[in-house]
Every structure is written in C-alpha cells, then in structure tokens.
Amino acid sequence: MSEHSLFEDAIKQLDQAGELAKVDPEVLARLRHPKAIMQVSIPVRMDDGTLQVFEGYRVQHDSTRGPTKGGIRYHPDVSLDEVKALAFWMTCKCAVVDIPYGGAKGGIIVNPKDLSRMELEKLSRGFVDRMADFIGPDTDIPAPDVYTNAMIMGWMMNEYSNIQRKSTPAVITGKPIALGGSLGRDDATGRGAYYCIKELERKRKWEPTQITVAVQGFGNAGQHVARLLHADGYRIVAVSDSRGAIYREEGFDIPSLIKFKNESRQLKAVYCEGSVCELVESQNITNEALLELDVDLLIPAALENQITLDNAKDIKAQVIVEVANGPVSSDANKVLIEKHKLIVPDILANAGGVTVSYFEWVQNRAGFYWTVDEVHHRLQAIMSRSFGEVYDIMDEHLTDMRTAAYTLAIKRIGDAISAGGTRQYFNGDQK
C-alpha cells in the first residue's frame, strides 16, 4: 500500500461529493484528518514458549456526531493507512444511516488462522489492555470486522470489564448473545445489503428468478446476503472464498454451500439433504474471473481494492452492491460510472452491521433486550429509508449513488460541526 494510499483514495471520494454538497470547506478540511491514532505492540507468549510481538492500531476518525464506532480487523495485510481509510468510511457510514456515532477502526497485523485459540485469546485481551484508556461506551466502541467474531468480542468485553472492575457490555458490540449481544447482529451486514437490494428490486421491477448474482467472499457478510437472496429465488451462479471461486449456470443451493463451508472450512459445489452432501457439477474459476462474469448483480463481499483500473473495463454486471468496504478504487469507480453501472456504495450497502451494533449498544445501556423480529423490523426501516434518501439525492442531482451517499453524509456531519458555532462567532453572528 505504500505507493498507493487507500486513505488518499478514500478522501478523493469525499472531495468529489464536497463540490456537490456545497458544504463549508472547513468541514471537508476537518474530515481529511483523523482525530486520533493509536499504535500499540502486543507481546504474546505463544504455545511453544516463544514470545511474539504483534502490531495493532486504532484510528478514531471523527466524533462530532457521537462516540466513534467501528470494527477491529485481524489480517496479515493490515496497515495504518488501511485502518485510516476504514475509520473514515465508518464516519460517513454512520452519518448515511443517521445513527449517533462518529467513525473509528482498529486492526492487528496477524493471520488469525495461524494462531491457536489460546494464542488468539491472549492477543485479543492484550489489545484491549493497550487500548483500555482510549475505548469506552461513551468514547469509542469496537466491533467485529474481517476475521474477527463474536467470541473475540466476548473476550475483549470481559477484559475491559476486568480493567474497569465493573461489567461494561456497551464497550463493544457483536458479542455472543450470552454476554449481552443482540439477536440479529450475526447476519446484520448481509441483511442490510439484502434490504437495499429489495428496494432496488422494487425500483427496477426485477423478477428475482430472472436475476443472476455473483458473490465474491463467503464470510459472514457474503454468506448471509447470498442466503437471503437465494431464499427469494435469485440465482446465485458464483461464489468465492480466499482460495478461489465456483461457478454454475443453474445456480447453487446456498444453504448447502454454507453448511459445508462452515463444517469443513472449504467452499465446494455441493447439494445437501440432511447431513449427506453430494458434489454437483460446477466450474472452478478464479476470484478475478468471478468479478468479470456476465451476471446482473455483482456483490463484492471480501476486501478492498478488488475492482481497479486493471479490471474495471471488463466488469459486465450492470449493478454492483458493495458489501465489502472499499472494493472499488476511485479510478475504477469513474470507469464504471462512465459505463452507466449502478453502484450501491459500501457506506450504504454494508451499514446494516453497524446499525444493529447500535441496537446492541442501546439494549446494553437500557438493560432491556429486543426480539429478533424487532431488530429486523427496525433494521429494515433504517436501511429502506436511507436507501430512499440516497436514491433521491442521486436523481435530484443527476449524479451517481456513491456521490449521493457522501453528499448526504457530509451534509449531516457538516450540520453537526456548524452547530458547534465557532465560525459564526468570527463572522460577527453571535446570536
């Protein structure tokens, strides 16, 4: 990432929308710089007795609209630049869906698949030990992200509570249900994207059985959006994980794929009846080839920078729903817009995760817990409303959906910054 900065690329999106939103340039100037950056080292005694020191980060991007919020990622490619970009997107995402948070993100440079469970627990507790003075229910609230899960959030909440000497469930979201997690948080990111697609279905008068879909990434977000779309009759013709992709023109039985993947950690073209799974005919293709398939709907649900100038011109799908954060580079975005693709941007399409995180935090603070139907109902209301608001701005300004989403976000952040009032004071308007 040294020659190509993901953060700089993300800021370009802000500048583009800044022109359209006609916001005070001071707002944009504020958003170009993260509020605070923490870098820590975490020594871990490994199972073989050796000591390994891991590097971790937490970036708090902006807290004007509320405490900062965002996940913690465990990945070998984590870098400070990446975490800054992800924190910036969280600020914008929370503003798009209008939940009372700013944005943050954390990350540790590690491949968690190489660690035993005990090593992973020590690393996670060690990270919280280092971060304990910077996070908290009213300051900065972490959550899961790529390669982190409910179990890790449980350890982190427990460690933070031990340090504070009081039970503090609202310090972190995405926890196990038994430790104060919310029903419906597990599939919230995929479900939020699904609600966006249902809005699109209404607008474009889609008949689901006629729509072909390719999903890149079969982790928490990708699996659930595929499952929900499949249940409605959409034809999911390709899916992939980090090792490669499978393609089948007739479409896959997604519940079988999920069952097999979660039991064996392998993505295989299977059809399962009860516990018996049989292979079905399919083609093995690469992740790159999956992106270029001639499908109606492409869902990148893996990592950032998957569609770049190198492959943008080869993308055939007419609609792209960004379930991953930052899957399309800003240069590639331009190419796709020129080709009249509709891109539902990450800061809207994957906001379901943080929205149910917000519900979890509200429930923790109230000490009163909701049913799963209540969570789904409220999530749908927020996603549908936000989708409609972004879509209307797009129509009104004859722009693309990403610029429209940023326009909405910086308008809301700008209103909050202006409400601070220092600028008016110097303008002579002291009322």
- Binding residue for ligand GLU (CB under 6 A) from 56, 67, 71, 169? 71
> Which of 101, 115, 129, 49 shows the shortest CA–CA distance to 357?
101
Taking the least distance from each CB to ligand GLU, the nearer of 83 and 291 is: 83
Task: Provide, rounded to whole angstroms, the least separation between the CB of residue 89 and ligand GLU.
Answer: 7
> Which of 28, 35, 36 shows the shortest CA–CA distance to 11?
28
> For the window 98-117, what string marks contact with ligand GLU as x by the rule CB under 6 A?
--------------------
- Read off the amino acid at residue 238: A
CA distance 68 to 66: 6
Q: State the catalytic residue, choosing from 69, 105, 122, 261.
A: 105
Q: Which two tokens stand for residue 313?
A: 């011109």
> Which of 50, 93, 90 shows the shortest CA–CA distance to 72?
90
> Which of these segments, 48-56, 64-72, 108-116, 303-311, binds ligand GLU (CB under 6 A)?
64-72
Query: What is the CA angle 149-151-155, rounded to 5?
Result: 120
Binding flag, residue 220, ligand GLU (CB under 6 A): no
Taking the least distance from each CB to ligand GLU, the nearer of 11 and 323 is: 323
Task: Provide, rounded to whole angstroms, the least separation between the CB of residue 77 and ligand GLU.
Answer: 16
Residue 180 per-residue DSSP state:
T
Which residue's CB atom is positioned nearest to ligand GLU? 71
Taking the least distance from each CB to ligand GLU, the nearer of 71 and 154 is: 71
In sequence order, what are the beta bridge partners of 245? 240, 285
Task: Provide, rounded to whole angstroms, the least separation between the CB of residue 71 and ligand GLU.
Answer: 3
> Which of these segments, 42-50, 63-71, 375-383, 405-413, binds ligand GLU (CB under 6 A)?
63-71
CB 87 within 8 A of CB 70: yes
Footprint (CB under 6 A) of ligand GLU, residues 147-176: 173-174
Q: Count residues binding ligand GLU (CB under 6 A).
A: 12
Binding flag, residue 69, ligand GLU (CB under 6 A): yes
Task: Provide, rounded to whole angstroms, the least separation between the CB of residue 101 and ligand GLU.
Answer: 8
CB 7 within 8 A of CB 84: yes
Q: Which two tokens stand for residue 66?
A: 């509320």
Place of tokens 């240069």: 331
Taking the least distance from each CB to ligand GLU, the nearer of 71 and 169 is: 71
Please give the helix or strand (H or E) that residue 244 lies within, else none: strand 244-247
Taking the least distance from each CB to ligand GLU, the nearer of 124 and 325 is: 325
User: Catalytic: 261?
Assistant: no
Binding flag, residue 354, ligand GLU (CB under 6 A): yes
CA distance 283 to 294: 15
Taking the least distance from each CB to ligand GLU, the nearer of 58 and 230 is: 58
Binding flag, residue 60, ligand GLU (CB under 6 A): no
> Which of these segments, 33-41, 327-335, 346-354, 412-420, binds ligand GLU (CB under 6 A)?
346-354
Task: Provide, rounded to whole angstroms, the least separation between the CB of residue 120 and ligand GLU.
Answer: 18
* Exposure string for 269-292, b = 16+ CB within 10 A, e = fewer: bbebeeeebeebebeebebebbbb
Query: What is the CA angle 399-344-377, rounded to 5?
Result: 125
Footprint (CB under 6 A) of ligand GLU, residues 126-145: 143, 145
> Which of 191, 134, 128 shows the shortest CA–CA distance to 162?
128
Interface positions with ligand GLU (CB under 6 A)? 69-71, 143, 145, 173-174, 325, 350, 353-354, 357
By annotation, the residues acting in catalysis are 105
